[in-house]
């Protein structure tokens, strides 16, 4: 049940109507039933793992609330967190690590493991959709309770809602359960302004997904799935298109998630803040997938020592965090190296900023624009590694990127002339809206417009989605981050 599908719109409409019509004491039951129905629409069996992870973290919180002994609290935290992480490791990484192990054994000439290797090759698990996201939410609850940052929930229904709430279940944001636990205890009366803002968020998210991201995917998928058929200019264009595709796809989902939650009176964590206007790689990660960046900061980076250590140790901490970040996105060498390169850029950026601060005492507008462009180019290049179907494909792209074709045409890359021209126009639109939003401090400046103007913009957005949305294509069957 995709956010951009008619089925979801019907589901959301019924849920919102019932939510405000029924008494407050029945609303939690409605939201839980709606969330499990939403998740079961993908794969009913996946609910088992959602319940196991939810129960394990809730029990851990309960046990932590019953003891003050430091050693026991540490043991409970380690066992519960280890169990939850083990589930994620088995589903997402067991097959990958076994393949690497047997590859090393082959290189070393160890033939006695051949029987085990054949068994391992057939070993694969279909990871429940969204497991990377709700696993991290459950872990944050265990860690926060262990650190006494939040009071453990005594209501299993409230806690289950904080994990399984359907808007953020599949692709985040990775909310802290404590934030939603506070909200579920409140009575949410219908608020017109909040409802309109949620509707606007949902519409704009749907626009970014089905009009922009899925249109850009027509060209991107053609080039990246056939790397041996193209040369330099094709990869340059495809890389830029993918840079905006993944942004509009993921931020589009997030906007629809935040909008869906706000229609019901709930506030989810902001996940994007104009990332392509970042002036450095570290600034980029303060703007891109914000909830994930904060998770790694709070539960890995700071416990490792953060920046309160020697510069060498700090550099190692950064590289470890980004290595784990790469692995979180998927069990592939492309993701691993993508994460490591981002970490390396962070380390280099720190020393570069020291030098530039001595040369440029004041940041002028031309200097800021230059820094934005350089950061964008680095991010864009690394997205190529992220998107490549394999590390071999990435090497092919690198090799062929400098081989230029004299008869190159952007209109021969799997998308029609109209789609290409419209895509270029939409990319310009995304840049313009982000620049305006950056100057205005967010999209809420639209709330200052007269009601008739806002309604007109909503209608234009709806008609644009209906007229120019990409439907029925392979790219429109999912969101990019569903696979992570």
> Which residues are annotated as catalytic?
329
Alpha carbons 482 and 480: distance in angstroms, whole number: 6
Exposed/middle/buried for 448, CB within 10 Å: 0-12, 13-18, 19+? exposed
Contact status, residue 405 vs residue 232, Cβ threshold 8 Å = yes
Helix 6-21 vs helix 27-40: angle between axes, to the nearest 10 degrees?
A: 170
- Give Cα separations from 27 to 22, 270, 282 (angstroms): 7, 25, 41
Close Cβ partners of 221 (under 8 Å, ≥ 6 residues apart): 414, 474, 475
Alpha carbons 256 and 202: distance in angstroms, whole number: 4
Element at 84 (helix H, strand E):
helix 70-92
HSE-CB for 429 with a 13 A CA cutoff:
13
Q: Which long-range contacts (CB under 8 A, 24 or more apart) does 94-100 make?
A: 94/123, 94/125, 95/120, 95/123, 95/124, 95/125, 95/331, 96/331, 96/332, 97/331, 98/123
Radius of gyration for the alpha carbons in the chain, expressed in angstroms and rounded: 24
Output helix, strand, coil percentages for the chain, rounded to the nearest 5: 75, 0, 25
Backbone angles phi, psi at 310, to 5 degrees: -65, 160
Close Cβ partners of 143 (under 8 Å, ≥ 6 residues apart): 77, 81, 298, 299
């Amino acid at each position: 049940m995709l956010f951009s599908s008619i089925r979801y719109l019907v589901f959301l409409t019924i849920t919102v109507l019932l939510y405000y019509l029924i008494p407050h004491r029945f609303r939690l039951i409605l939201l839980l039933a709606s969330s499990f129905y939403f998740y079961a629409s993908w794969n009913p069996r996946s609910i088992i793992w959602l319940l196991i992870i939810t129960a394990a973290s809730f029990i851990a919180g309960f046990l932590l609330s019953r003891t003050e002994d430091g050693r026991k609290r540490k043991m409970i935290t380690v066992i519960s967190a280890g169990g939850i992480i083990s589930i994620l490791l088995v589903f997402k990484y067991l097959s990958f690590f076994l393949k690497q192990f047997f590859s090393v054994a082959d290189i070393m000439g160890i033939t006695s493991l051949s029987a085990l290797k054949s068994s391992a090759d057939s070993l694969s698990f279909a990871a429940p959709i969204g497991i990377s996201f709700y696993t991290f939410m459950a872990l944050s609850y265990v860690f926060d309770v262990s650190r006494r940052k939040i009071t453990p929930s005594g209501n299993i229904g409230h806690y289950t809602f904080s994990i399984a709430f359907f808007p953020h279940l599949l692709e985040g944001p990775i909310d802290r359960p404590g934030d939603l636990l506070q909200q579920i205890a409140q009575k949410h009366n219908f608020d017109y302004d909040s409802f309109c803002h949620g509707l606007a968020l949902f519409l704009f998210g749907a626009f970014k997904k089905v009009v922009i991201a899925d249109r850009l995917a027509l060209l991107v998928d053609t080039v990246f799935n056939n790397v041996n058929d193209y040369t330099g200019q094709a990869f340059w264009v495809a890389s830029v298109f993918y840079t905006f595709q993944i942004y509009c796809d993921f931020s589009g989902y997030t906007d629809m998630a935040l909008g869906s939650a706000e229609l019901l009176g709930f506030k989810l964590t902001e996940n994007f803040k104009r990332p392509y206007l970042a002036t450095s790689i570290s600034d980029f990660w303060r703007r891109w997938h914000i909830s994930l960046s904060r998770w790694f900061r709070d539960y890995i980076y700071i416990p490792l020592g953060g920046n309160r250590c020697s510069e060498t140790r700090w550099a190692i901490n950064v590289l470890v965090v980004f290595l784990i970040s790469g692995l979180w996105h998927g069990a592939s060498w492309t993701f691993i190296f993508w994460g490591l390169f981002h970490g390396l850029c962070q380390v280099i950026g720190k020393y570069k900023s020291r030098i530039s601060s001595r040369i440029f005492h004041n940041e002028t507008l031309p200097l800021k624009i230059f820094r934005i462009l350089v950061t964008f180019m680095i991010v864009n290049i690394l997205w190529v590694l992220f998107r490549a179907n394999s590390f071999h494909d990435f090497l092919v792209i690198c090799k062929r990127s400098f081989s230029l074709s004299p008869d190159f045409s952007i209109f021969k890359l799997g998308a029609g002339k109209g789609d290409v021209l419209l895509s270029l126009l939409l990319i310009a639109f995304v840049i313009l809206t982000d620049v305006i939003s950056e100057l205005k401090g967010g999209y809420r400046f639209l709330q200052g417009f007269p009601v008739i103007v806002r309604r007109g913009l909503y209608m234009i957005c709806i008609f644009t989605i209906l007229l120019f949305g990409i439907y029925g294509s392979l790219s429109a069957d999912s969101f990019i981050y569903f696979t992570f």
